[in-house]
């Protein structure tokens, strides 16, 4: 079985959580203000839901979702195209010794929440929960 570099041991360390949240806030601000030199990226509203860092803080998995959920592939392509500039901005603003490599992935948390809500709305499930 392949080792997942984002889930070593019982869970992320306080340091991983703190740095991940700082990266999330920084990326959210940069994307909201349109600080990147790409007009295509700046015209989009992108939510940065979560950032998970590897234990050595060299890789940051950034979970994103475009406003309204439309144009997901376009958003990922634009973020990947501007990855080096975003990495440079994160490193500069957070004054990190090494700026982590940014990897972008769609945030499917909201889809899972909707699926869970639909599941709980089913009559058979409600009946089981009421017992």
CATH (domain of 78)? 3.30.300.20
Position 80 in a domain:
yes
How many domains are there within the chain?
A: 1
Give domain status of residue 110, yes or no. yes
Measured CA distances, 120 to 69, 112, 129 (Å): 23, 12, 9
Domain that residue 71 falls in: 14-130
pTM of the model: 0.76
pLDDT digits (tens, 9 = 90+) for 52-97: 999 999 999 999 999 877 789 999 999 999 999 999 999 999 988 8
Residue 98 lies in a domain: yes
**What tokens were used for 14?**
């306080």
**For 36, how many CA atoms within 13 A lie in the half-sphere containing its CB?**
27
Annotate 60-88 with DSSP letters as a single string: EEEEEEEGGG--HHHHHHHHHHTHHHHHH
Q: Is residue 28 part of a domain?
A: yes
Helix (H) or strand (E) segment spanning residue 27: helix 14-33
- Domain-embedded: residue 48: yes
| pLDDT tens figures, 34-64 | 989 999 999 999 999 999 999 999 999 999 9
């Amino acid at each position: 079985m392949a080792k997942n570099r984002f889930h070593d041991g019982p869970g992320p360390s306080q340091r991983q959580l703190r740095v991940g949240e700082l990266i999330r806030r920084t990326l959210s601000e940069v994307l909201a203000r349109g600080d990147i030199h790409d007009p295509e990226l700046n015209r989009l509203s992108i939510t940065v839901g979560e950032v998970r860092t590897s234990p050595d803080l060299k890789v940051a998995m950034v979970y994103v979702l475009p406003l309204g959920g439309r144009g997901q592939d376009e958003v990922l392509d634009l973020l990947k195209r501007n990855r080096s500039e975003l990495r440079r901005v994160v490193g500069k603003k957070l004054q990190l010794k090494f700026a982590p490599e940014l990897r972008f992935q769609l945030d499917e948390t909201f889809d899972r929440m909707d699926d869970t809500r639909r599941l709980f709305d089913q009559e058979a499930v409600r009946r089981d929960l009421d017992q």
